[in-house]
Structure 1
Amino acid sequence: MGSVIFVPSITLFFLVVLWTTAGAQIILTAENSTPPAGYTDSVYFGLTGGLTAPTGGAAQVWDYSNVALDFPRVVEITDERDSPIFTEAYSGTPGVLRFVGFDADAVFYDAADEDGFYAIGRLIAETSFPLTTITGNPDDTFKYLADTSVYEGRVNELTFPMTYQDTYEGARLERSRLSLSVAAFGLTNAPVETRRYYAESHSVIGYGQVIIPLEDQSPSPPIDVLLVQIDRSSIDSFFVAGMVAPPELTAPFGVSQGMMATDQVFVFLTPGLEAPVVRMNVTAGTVDDFIYRPRAANLISSTRELSTAHLRISPNPVPRGGTLRVQLDQEFTAGSMRLLNQQGQMISVPAVNNQGKECTVEIPAQLPAGIYYLQAIDANGRLIPAQRIVVQ
């Protein structure tokens, strides 16, 4: 079975750090690592030529500042806490399900609890393809059926608590419903089910600092991170009309019963960012994807602790020159705010009128319409997780 591709693959984390000295280890806990349920993610894909898998260890420096930009992408992560489809869902990520080159639009759902952050299932849109290039018959078809698939088992994208040298494992079974019409086999809209047994092991193999390209391709400042190695394996099986698919049918698609695949993923995690600073997919020693987030250099400070407070803002959207009302779940006297663009660049330090747990923020009249983030800093210098706002 072909690989499942997440666009972006994405794992969403808010982290808190316990720093004792420069470059100290990061500790993730359930109380302070819950990601935002919905937000806009800006990711950059880098060219992978010459890249190799990172080496772990304590107090390392990983320099990727010379990686050239391939293309950027913006993805809307949706808040699914009230989802009527997946009642345990926390957030949803749009993506693609791929089988031997056939792509279907999908939404991948995640959940969060005191033990970790993990994938729970996917929603697939019905999509049909002709099989002319495979069977030679233009009337033969391959179809993804519109389906809500709940995973059996659990693989944590992040487990709580976690720090350097920690390890954990997980496994799940994923099912997909398809339809196949192949005249040579007497199949007309025959029901097909694919089953993938999927397993992962996670190891926190290093900590230190990573350097990435900024939007203008200049090097970022060093960013404090944990390095996590994820070893993945899968076993695929295929069934037609409730029976094991014969080799004569699977072979033209380039698959076989019990087909196994393995790869590795390396992620660099940092405080204050809801997704990895860098994500690298490695197959047979070759780096397939290099995904990074330049805004990590602006949204976090390697020496600043994060606050556990949360912001609630209104109205949203807000007009240029308008007033944004901000409510906090703790006192905010003597705190400050800053406006960031989608790339994490600070563009304004707006005036703030404090009133205990509430304050108002004046949006600059000259600010271009678009999507921004409001980042708060409390009186003790701790960062409060940013909130997405739309300026009209």
Structure 2
Amino acid sequence: MRQAILLLSAFIFILYALPGASQVTITQSDLLRPASFTDSSLVITDPGTPFPEEGANILWDYSTLGEGVLETTVYTDATTDPDFTDALNYFSSDIELFLGGFTFEVTSNLYDAIDADGWYRTGRSFGSLTVPLTPLSGGANDRIDYIANKFDYVGRTNIMELPMTYQDQWEGSYYYDLNYEVTAVAFGLNQTPAFTRTTITEEREVVGYGSIILPRSDGDPSGEIEVLLVKGSLVEVDSFFLGGSLAPQAILDAFGLEQGLAKGRNFYNFYAPGIGTPVLLSESPLGGGATNRIVYWSQVADMATSTEELRVPVAKSFPNPASTTSSITIILEQFTSSGQVRFIDLQGRVLQTVDYTSNGSNSLDVEIPASLSNGMFMYQVTDEDNVLIGIGKLQVF
């Protein structure tokens, strides 16, 4: 029995995976990421597991993965952030830096966004930090002062293209600048402006589709979960600038830095419709031939029994399309007495919540909130215990 306590992510209540053809396609309405939630995963290092098989109609069985270490990530709502106007949320992603044999971290938040073209990273914010250089330069007051700031990425590469299906491929690059001031008397530097530009190049391809089996939190195997398999690589190259020009080699040598040094990783991500995160990640250092780290989401496995596919019942509504001045009737696959209907936009944000009572039937009448604008929305139906019992789409005019 697994002893890890799982923090169920908020997005687990908006799972939406419909059974159908063996081919799998993920659209924008399938990628429902709330603006704020806590994501929990299990991490296994050096698992001794080969990279997944590529191809069509594959069954990937990861049900025998060993015990993982619980890792949580807190996503914070960024929809009102004036500096990242397209951002959905952000999470802590500190930057590890190496200087003359020393390692230190600059605090950083990484911002995500979703639009009609895909899910992507839109920028970073940085905290301030002062790093003494005395052990390297000998100067009593020598230091690097990292400057707190926010930086929109220049360029873009999607984490997921939308819509996304088998044999899709894409690539791109973007960069961000980490700004600081350098004081080193021996080099004639006194709070001299400098920055490190990190250029990131990514390549991704959907190399498989089929079903995956994951370990549940109790150690038993899940049911088969429909997924797409995305293969990718990420390469980071750092360039160091001082006073507006590339840093001189003598300074780079003194601080143990190398211009244009490349680092990165190879990875495979499994994605399921309706889940706003990978269900399993397998990765290795750039150029590595075997997996050195696996991350999987057992709360996803917990939503599937050992005999059934991961699925949330469809709740049909009529009329559809409907106007904001009318009401709709929602038909469920089960009976309910009371609960709530949540109206959600295609970025995963809950816009309005409406209470309902249905007197123990499988249909309920709900007025469309007047605050909804024209467009496509998702709705979730929960019962009196806040259990998700239906989900659907609604066109409002």
TM-score clears 0.5: yes
Structure 1 residue aligned with 2:366, among 357, 363, 372?
A: 357
Change (3 A) 1:360 1:99: closer
Higher gyration radius (CA): 2
Q: CA deviation at 1:236?
A: 2.2
In the TM superposition, what are the counterparts of 1:187-266 in structure 2 within 5 Å?
Answer: 187-266=189-268
Query: In the aligned structure 1, how far is the partner of 2:65 from the partner of 2:144?
Result: 39
In the TM superposition, what are the counterparts of 1:123-142 in structure 2 within 5 Å?
Answer: 123-131=125-133, 134-135=136-137, 139-142=141-144
Give identity over the alignment, percent: 30
Change (3 A) 1:36 1:80: same
Structure 1: gaps spanning 5 or more residues: 1-11, 310-327, 339-351, 364-373, 385-392
Structure 2 residue aligned with 1:105, among 95, 104, 107?
A: 107
Query: In the aligned structure 2, how far is the partner of 1:191 from the partner of 1:83?
Result: 27
In the TM superposition, what are the counterparts of 1:23-38 in structure 2 within 5 Å?
Answer: 24-38=22-36
Structure 1 residue 60 and structure 2 residue 58: aligned? yes
My pick for the range that moved more, 158-167 or 232-241, is: 232-241
Change (3 A) 1:17 1:294: closer
Partner of 1:290: 294
In the TM superposition, what are the counterparts of 1:1-392 in structure 2 within 5 Å?
Answer: 17=17, 19-21=19-21, 24-100=22-98, 101-131=103-133, 134-135=136-137, 139-283=141-285, 284-285=287-288, 286-299=290-303, 302=309, 304=311, 331=330, 334=334, 353-354=357-358, 355-357=364-366, 362=384, 374-378=386-390
Is the 8 Å Cα contact of residues 273 and 299 (structure 1) preserved in structure 2? no
Change (3 A) 1:118 1:335: farther
- Secondary structure in 1 matching 2:93: strand
Q: CA deviation at 1:262?
A: 4.0
Query: In the aligned structure 2, how far is the partner of 1:269 from the partner of 1:138?
Result: 53
- Secondary structure in 2 matching 1:261: strand
Query: In the aligned structure 1, how far is the partner of 2:314 from the partner of 2:71?
Result: 29
Change (3 A) 1:139 1:292: farther
Q: CA deviation at 1:150?
A: 0.7
| 1:128-179 deviations in Å (ceiling 9; x for gaps) | 2334555566643333210101111111111111111111122212211123
Query: In the aligned structure 2, how far is the partner of 1:105 from the partner of 1:209?
Result: 38
Q: Which amino acid aligns with 1:71?
A: V
Partner of 1:324: none
Query: In the aligned structure 1, how far is the partner of 2:315 from the partner of 2:196?
Result: 43
Change (3 A) 1:212 1:190: farther
- Secondary structure in 2 matching 1:210: strand
Query: In the aligned structure 1, how far is the partner of 2:213 from the partner of 2:256?
Result: 40
Q: Which amino acid aligns with 2:291?
A: V
Change (3 A) 1:53 1:192: farther
Is the 8 Å Cα contact of residues 118 and 160 (structure 2) preserved in structure 1? yes
| 1:33-88 deviations in Å (ceiling 9; x for gaps) | 24222211112211224133222112223333343334212222122111122112
Change (3 A) 1:329 1:296: farther
Is the 8 Å Cα contact of residues 31 and 274 (structure 2) preserved in structure 1? no
Is the 8 Å Cα contact of residues 382 and 388 (structure 2) preserved in structure 1? no
Please give the root-mean-square deviation of Cα atoms over the aligned residues, in Å.
3.3
Question: Aligned pair count?
Answer: 328
Q: CA deviation at 1:253?
A: 4.5
Is the 8 Å Cα contact of residues 19 and 25 (structure 1) preserved in structure 2? no
Query: In the aligned structure 2, how far is the partner of 1:28 from the partner of 1:62?
Result: 19
Query: In the aligned structure 1, how far is the partner of 2:176 from the partner of 2:147?
Result: 15
Is the 8 Å Cα contact of residues 47 and 294 (structure 2) preserved in structure 1? no
- Using the size of structure 1 for normalisation, the TM-score is 0.73
Is the 8 Å Cα contact of residues 207 and 230 (structure 2) preserved in structure 1? yes
My pick for the range that moved more, 286-295 or 211-220, is: 211-220
Query: In the aligned structure 2, how far is the partner of 1:32 from the partner of 1:147?
Result: 34
Q: CA deviation at 1:16?
A: 5.4
Query: In the aligned structure 1, how far is the partner of 2:143 from the partner of 2:222?
Result: 49
